[in-house]
Amino acid sequence: MKAQYRIGNWSEYNAGLKHRGSLTFRIEASVLDEWIVKTLSSKRGASVYYSDQAIVTMATVKAVYHLAGRQCQGFLESVFELMGIDLPVPDHSTLSRRISQLSIPIPVVPKDGARHVVVDSTGVKVYGEGEWKTRQHGLSKRRTWRKLHLAIDEATGEIVAAMVTTPDVHDGEVFGDLLEQIEGEIAQVSTDGAYDHRHCYDDITYRGAQPVIPPRKDAVIWQPGNCNTPLHPRDENLRYIRKHGRKKWKRDFNYHRRSLAETTMFRFKTIFGGKLSARNFDNQAVELFLKCAVLNRMIRVAKPDSYKVEA
């Protein structure tokens, strides 16, 4: 029988979900105070220079409410008019030009103890085409996607590190760079079999964490027990699996928590969709980092506290 779960904090979770759609949650007074940067230029007719925070705010509204560039400009202008705010709004070309220059930090709540990090990647479409056209005419040359690599705290659901690459980059190639972004102590790193490489184990053990990566079906021992070197973590996992079975190994080492990475990616694509609106790689990367930052803020506002219903 499939396990059933219920939400124990439904009233708080319901209020938080409504708060996610609030415009006042996106546009705060501190943002408006720093909307325009005062330049030293005194030339008549000099263009207005918007702060990075203004560009981030506009890009955030664009992503959350699924607006095109010109629609986002008109949307913010109408909001400012209704709020009685006498501020100009960047045009869509300014937003497109400036967004690639932004550095988007992903907000993460500091943690006292060590983290259990789960890692995975997903594809996001670029220049996506409809399924009907694909079936009728095949894939066009412009059809491609970007890979979003994520490291997630399994306890909080927050994204603690993110990287964007082209689809030809293997998951293991950026694994070390992904771990370097994570601040603080790491207790365990859980990934799928795509990261079953020696350098991935080295990157995890360098951080003092326990690697929980399922070995391949035809895996062999890397370092025999009669060697003078310490036992390799992969060999210990493999021996445990051979003795107790893969199912018990997953249960005993909390490998099932790795599925939270797929849950986060499902939330990401449900909220923001599976396509990118930007056309060049730098803008696409910033767009994805921005959405990761928004997702972390959303989970702080509304997060369900589920518990298992006993039969």
How does pLDDT run across 56-67, given as a tens digit for each residue?
999 999 998 899
Q: Looking at the predicted structure, is the pLDDT value of residue 309 above 70? A: yes
> What pLDDT score was predicted for residue 204?
93
Phi, psi angle pair for 211, to nearest 5°: -85, 130
Q: Mention every residue, 6+ apart, whose C-beta is less than 8 A from residue 249.
A: 214, 237, 240, 241, 255
Lowest mean pLDDT among 47-51, 86-90, 93-97, 207-211: 47-51
Q: In whole numbers, what is the pLDDT of the chain averaged over residues?
A: 85
According to DSSP, the residues that pair with 115 across neighbouring strands are: 186
Q: How confident is the model at residue 143 (pLDDT cuts 50, 70, 90)?
A: low
Give exposure, 5-16, as e/b (b: 16+ Cβ within 10 Å). Answer: eeeeeeeebeeb
Confidence of residue 144 (pLDDT cuts 50, 70, 90): confident
Q: What is the mean pLDDT of residues 40-48?
A: 55
Q: Distance from CA of residue 222 to its chain's centroid? A: 33
Q: Taking 60 as the threshold, does the pLDDT of residue 46 lie above it?
A: no
Instruction: Check: CB of residue 246 under 8 Å from CB of residue 215.
Output: no
Residue-level pLDDT at 218: 81
What pLDDT score was predicted for residue 130? Answer: 55
Judging by beta carbons within 10 Å of its beta carbon (0-12, 13-18, 19+), is residue 294 exposed, middle or buried?
buried
Cα–Cα–Cα angle for 254, 259, 265, rounded to 5 degrees: 150
For domain 115-276, give the fold: Nucleotidyltransferase; domain 5 (3.30.420)
Least confident interval from 124-128, 192-196, 230-234: 124-128
Distance from C-alpha of 16 to C-alpha of 307, rounded to nearest angstrom: 19
Domain segments of the chain: what residues? 7-102+282-311, 115-276
Q: What does the pLDDT average to over 21-40?
A: 74
What pLDDT is attached to residue 159?
A: 94
Residue spans of alpha helices (H) in 88-146: 92-99, 131-137
**Candidate from 165-174, 222-231, 235-244, 274-283 with smallest mean pLDDT:** 222-231
Radius of gyration of the chain (CA): 23
**Widest distance between CA atoms in the chain:** 81
Sheet containing 159-165, strands listed edge to edge, beginning at the edge strand earlier in sequence: 159-165, 144-153, 115-126, 186-190, 210-212
Q: Are 127 and 144 in contact (CB under 8 A)?
A: yes
- Whether the per-residue pLDDT at 40 is higher than 60: the answer is no
Task: Tell how far CA 67 is from the center of its chain.
Answer: 20
